[in-house]
Amino acid sequence: MKIAPNSKLVFIGDSITDCERARPVGEGLFGAIGKGYVALVDATFGAVCPEKKIRVVNVGSSGNTVRDLKARWQTDVINLKPDWLSVMIGINDVWRQFDLPKMQEIHVGPAEYAATLDELVAKTKPLVNGLVLMTPYYIESNRHDAMRVRMDEYGVIVKKLAAKHRTVFVDTQAAYDKVLKHTYPATLAWDRIHPTTVGHMILARAFLAGIGFKT
C-alpha cells in the first residue's frame, strides 16, 4: 500500500464525501467521520491493518464546487497538515448547469474547473507525501445522456491533471460503469448522484485499489 503507517489521510469533497460528518472536522467516535465511502475506507484500515494506525479525517462539505474548495483550502487542507490528501470534486460543478441552468453565476465551467483544481494540486503536492484525485461521476448507463456527457468531460480533466502532477488517479465513473452492467442506476443512487451503501462501497473499493491496498 502506498500510504505509510502512522499517516494522516484527509478526504475533501462535496456531499458524497461529507455524508453527515462532524464539524468543524470529521474525525472521532460515533459517526464523526460520516456514513459514506470515507467511513468504509477507515473501517477497512481498522479491520484489516490496525497496526498501521492510519488516521482518517473527513472535511467534505455538501454542495461544494471546486470554487468552494479553493475558498476553504487553507483551513481545511493546509492547516490540517495531511500526509496524504484525497480530492473528489466536480459533481456540483456540473449538476448546477443542469438543475439551475438560469443561475449562470454559480456555474463552474470546464476551464475554471481545470484551472482551479490545477492550482490547488500544484500548491499542495509539495506539502504532502501523496495525493489522490478521484473523478466526479454520474450513475447513468446511457453515455449519451447530456449530464453524463458533461460529467465525463470533467472526469477527463481530472485524469489529465493526475498525469500532469503524477498523483494517484481513481476513475470512479469506470468503477460504477462496471457495476451498471448488472444493476439499474436508481438501485445505486435514486438521483444518480447520492449513493446507497452499495454505491459508497464501490467508491471505497476504487479508492483502496488506487492506493494499492491489498487484504
194 is catalytic: yes
Burial of 88 (0-12, 13-18, 19+ CB in 10 A): buried
What Cα–Cα distance (Å) separates residue 197 from each residue in 6, 28, 83, 173?
28, 21, 28, 17
Strands lying side by side in the sheet with 130-134? 55-58, 8-13, 84-88, 130-134, 168-170
- Rounded Cα distance between 173 and 184, Å, is 15
Could you count the other beta carbons within 10 Å of the beta carbon of residue 192?
Answer: 20
Give the bridge partners for 87, in sequence order: 12, 133
- Selected catalytic residue, list 7, 15, 61, 86: 15
- Rounded Cα distance between 39 and 44, Å, is 9
Query: Nearest Cα to 62, choosing from 13, 134, 116, 23?
Result: 13
The alpha carbon of residue 194 and the mean position of all alpha carbons in its chain are separated, in whole angstroms, by: 12
83 is catalytic: no
144 is catalytic: no
Tell me which residues are annotated as active site: 15, 191, 194
